[in-house]
């Protein structure tokens, strides 16, 4: 079985930058969700020349599957180096799927304060939402089978690419 070709991550990122450029202000704050979302947010932050320092978030302490799966094996510190109260925030993630990660990220953000607004940017929207969550900025919509995962990877030259993996596959 041949894998369906995934779009080029760098092309999608370039499109995402253009779409966001027209609707962010210099004071818009970006928060990347670990790990792929942080890579994207770093690139977006630079390309959009934003004034606020970049934030990063790890949603492990807010996940809704802690009761069944326990604490994530690798938790990184969340770092929100700007005032969240009244901020105009764009959350950045690599792949938008069920929406549960975004729910967790929003819950965590509200423990820092009450933002003016939160929007969502995702490189890939693969559908399959289980919560009423939508992205305002999307690189591409891609449909893949249920058991498949789209992962963002980054090489030593900081080049981003997408790979398709199957759950349970070697």
Partner 1 sequence: MTGLNPQLNANGELQHLLTIEGLPREIVLHILDTAHSFLSVGEREIKKVPLLRGKAIFNLFFEASTRTRTTFEIAAKRLSADVINLNVGTSSQSKGETLLDTVANLSAMHADMFVVRHSQSGAAHLIARHVAPYIHVINAGDGRHAHPTQGLLDMFTIRHYKKEFSSLRVAIVGDVLHSRVARSQIHALTTLGVPEVRVIGPRTLLPTNVSELGVHVHHDMATGLKDVDVVIMLRLQNERMNGALLPSAQEFFKYYGLTPEKLANAKPDAIVMHPGPMNRGIEIDSSVADGRQSVILPQVTFGIAVRMAVMAILAGNA
CB of 73 to partner 1, least distance (A): 7
69 makes contact with partner 1 (CB under 8 A): yes
Between 31 and 162, name the residue whose CB sits nearer to partner 1: 31
Give the footprint of partner 1 on residues 47-66 (CB under 8 A). 58, 60-62, 66
Interatomic CA distance for residues 78 and 96, integer angstroms: 20
Give the footprint of partner 1 on residues 81-110 (CB under 8 A). 107-108
Name every residue whose Cβ is closer than 8 Å to that of residue 61 and which is 6 or more positions away in sequence.
75, 108
42 makes contact with partner 1 (CB under 8 A): no
The token pair that represents 27 in the structure block: 């004071």
168 makes contact with partner 1 (CB under 8 A): no
Please identify which residue in 67, 146, 168, 170 interacts with partner 1, judged by CB under 8 A. Answer: 67
**Partners of residue 120 on adjacent β-strands:** 91
113 makes contact with partner 1 (CB under 8 A): yes
Between 8 and 79, name the residue whose CB sits nearer to partner 1: 79
Interatomic CA distance for residues 138 and 116, integer angstroms: 21
Three-state DSSP state, 69? helix
Strand runs labelled E in 1-136: 29-33, 55-57, 88-96, 117-125
Binding site for partner 1 (CB under 8 A): 58, 60-62, 66-71, 73-79, 107-108, 111-113
């Amino acid at each position: 079985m041949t894998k369906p070709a995934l779009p080029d991550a760098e092309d999608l990122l370039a499109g995402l930058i253009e779409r966001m450029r027209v609707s962010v202000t210099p004071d818009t704050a970006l928060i990347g969700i670990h790990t792929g979302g942080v890579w994207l947010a770093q690139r977006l932050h630079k390309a959009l020349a934003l004034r606020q320092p970049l934030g990063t978030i790890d949603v492990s302490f807010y996940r809704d599957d802690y009761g069944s799966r326990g604490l994530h094996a690798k938790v990184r510190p969340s770092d929100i180096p700007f005032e969240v109260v009244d901020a105009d925030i764009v959350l950045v993630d690599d792949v938008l799927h069920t929406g549960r990660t975004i729910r967790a990220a929003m819950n965590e953000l509200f423990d820092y304060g009450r933002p003016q607004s939160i929007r969502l940017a995702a490189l890939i929207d693969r559908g399959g939402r289980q919560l009423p969550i939508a992205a305002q900025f999307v690189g591409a919509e891609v449909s893949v089978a249920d058991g498949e995962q789209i992962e963002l990877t980054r090489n030593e030259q900081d080049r981003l690419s997408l790979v398709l993996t199957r759950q349970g596959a070697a």
